[in-house]
Amino acid sequence: MNDQFRNPSKALYHAERLDRLAEVAVRVGLGLKPGQEVVMTAPLEALALVRRITEHAYKAGASLVTTFFSDEESTLMRFRHGRDEGFDSASSWLYEGMAAAYRNGAARLAIVGEDPSLLAQQDPEKVSRANRARSKAYMPALNLIAGFDTNWTIVAAATPAWAKAVFPNDPEEVAVAKLWDAIFAASRADVADPIAAWGTHNANLQARTRMLNEKNYAALHFRGPGTDLRVGLADGHEWNGGSTKAKNGIVCNANIPTEEVFTTPHKVRVDGYVASTKPLSYQGTLIQDIQVRFENGRIVESKARTGEAVLTKVLDTDEGARRLGEVALVPNSSPISQSGLLFLNTLFDENASSHIALGQAYSKCIKDGGTMSEEELASRGANKSLIHIDWMIGSGEVDVDGITASGQAEPLIRRGEWVTS
């Protein structure tokens, strides 16, 4: 048994922080309003956090909390024993039901904690087919989430497999305790008043977005080892960071934790080359040392030291998978970066570093994008795809300039840190 649970004082401390994380998830993450339903997804190992979140949701006035659990052992059984044709199928009925719930006003909460290498030994072709089928089936719900039709958030729970991946040299119980400590710290659940701490943090992020929106840069220019990339920004783009108001009027924090400010690139105005600065853990495969080259917004060359076959299949998902849907700026001094940990989970690792995302754009990052049709969004440069995959390109060696409409370069980030007020 974990030492923190043998020791009553440590067990009490863990339970207190777990309860604070649940409160942050409901009050800061979802901004839940009385009368709302909550649709929650979670791994089986996150049951303790699920129960705490459920309690706080009902205390906040939730009308109903419905949780769908996932089980990694069952997932492996599918790949080991499932019929080949089954990998082109997904539970469309489930995702259609979720989409209906969101259209009817339900809030969406996801708890993550997956084993980063769960599918590493499985047939990459089957993994790709299963992911594509799921993405297609999930699209009706994803469109509502990406468009912020409802309030939503993602939080994390420490699970044994994930903890052992992050801390491979520690016994499982020690690794789990360490990962919980890191989650609590990054999520601001280890302070006396996490709600107030999130208020201050959101205000700081929003001040940064106001500055960038006032500048209204036409492009960003990233330079560093293996990187010389110009990212043109969508016409009428809008920077976001921290809390945001969904179309239902509820203010939520989509990611707990978050350290980024982000916006929408123009899908045909990205040129140059870029190298990843952290590994990407994607669907059980660790993709390391990614290098790609863009021409007219599209990746025309790609390679990776590990996971290259999976990367190629991701890029071939659809036409939009080779284009960008997001660009985000994060200082190297962010708490997650300074922790020195590689979380092997995008929710955390993207908040340690400036990053780009392949695939679907957020309509929220286009002025009045929430009222636009897909054709109107596309005319502004917003990308469309079945995927949205973030990977990290920032570090203490990367500089970023903002490029004005007249072509003038203004320093934004030097050696990983903001230089503008």
| Tens-digit pLDDT profile for residues 238-286 | 999 999 999 999 999 999 999 999 999 999 999 999 999 998 988 778 8
Query: Which residues lie closer than 8 Å to 100 by C-beta, 6 or more apart?
Result: none
pLDDT over 50 (residue 420): yes
pLDDT, mean of residues 275-304: 92
Whole-number pLDDT of residue 10: 67
The two beta strands, 291-295 and 298-303, are antiparallel
Query: Which residues lie closer than 8 Å to 75 by C-beta, 6 or more apart?
Result: 118, 119
Nearest to 159 by CA among 172, 143, 141, 142: 172
Nearest to 310 by CA among 164, 142, 116, 39: 116
Whole-number pLDDT of residue 1: 42
Largest CA distance in the chain: 64
Whole-number pLDDT of residue 2: 47
End-to-end CA distance of the chain: 49
Query: Which residues lie closer than 8 Å to 155 by C-beta, 6 or more apart?
Result: 21, 24, 25, 29, 49, 53, 109, 110, 111, 112, 187, 256
Whole-number pLDDT of residue 5: 42
Neighbours of 267 (CB within 10 A): 25
Residue 286, both tokens? 């660790």
Size (the chain), residues: 421
Mean pLDDT of the chain: 93
Residue 79, both tokens? 């790949």
Q: How far apart (Å, rounded) are the C-alpha atoms in residues 192 and 196?
A: 9
Residue 92, both tokens? 């469309």
DSSP letter string over 151-217?
-EEEEE---HHHHHHHSTTS-HHHHHHHHHHHHHHHTT-SSS-HHHHHHHHHHHHHHHHHHHHHHT-
Cis peptide before 225 (omega within 30 of 0): no
pLDDT over 50 (residue 98): yes
Contact indicator for 394, 355 with CB cutoff of 8 Å: yes
Amino acid making up residue 92: S
Q: How far apart (Å, rounded) are the C-alpha atoms in residues 334 and 212?
A: 19
Q: pLDDT confidence of 11, banded at 50, 70, 90?
A: low
Percentage of residues in the chain with pLDDT exceeding 90?
Answer: 83
Q: How far apart (Å, rounded) are the C-alpha atoms in residues 82 and 88?
A: 11
pLDDT over 50 (residue 6): no
pLDDT, mean of residues 76-102: 96
Beta strands in 255-408, from DSSP E residues, in sequence order: 261-263, 265-275, 280-282, 285-287, 291-295, 298-303, 324-329, 355-359, 388-392, 399-403
Whole-number pLDDT of residue 364: 85
Q: How far apart (Å, rounded) are the C-alpha atoms in residues 122 and 196?
A: 45
Residue 144, both tokens? 């509502």
- Asked which of 46-60, 200-214, 392-406, 407-421 is least confident by mean pLDDT, the reply is 407-421
Query: Which residues lie closer than 8 Å to 81 by C-beta, 6 or more apart?
Result: none
pLDDT over 90 (residue 4): no
Q: Dihedral sign, CA of 209, 211, 214, 219? A: negative
Whole-number pLDDT of residue 12: 66
Domain boundaries along the sequence of the chain = 3-186, 216-239+258-418
User: DSSP secondary-structure letter at 77?
Assistant: H
Given the candidates 3.30.9.10, 3.40.1830.10, 3.40.190.170, 3.30.1600.10, the CATH classification of the domain at 3-186 is: 3.40.1830.10
Nearest to 256 by CA among 53, 44, 13, 33: 53
Q: What is the pLDDT of residues 119-153, one digit of tens each?
A: 888 898 898 899 889 989 999 998 899 889 999 99
Measured CA distances, 52 to 6, 16, 47, 191, 271 (Å): 21, 10, 9, 18, 47
Q: How far apart (Å, rounded) are the C-alpha atoms in residues 356 and 363?
A: 16
Contact indicator for 168, 322 with CB cutoff of 8 Å: no
Q: What is the pLDDT of residues 327-385, one digit of tens each?
A: 999 999 899 998 999 999 989 998 999 999 999 998 889 999 888 899 999 999 999 99
Whole-number pLDDT of residue 85: 95
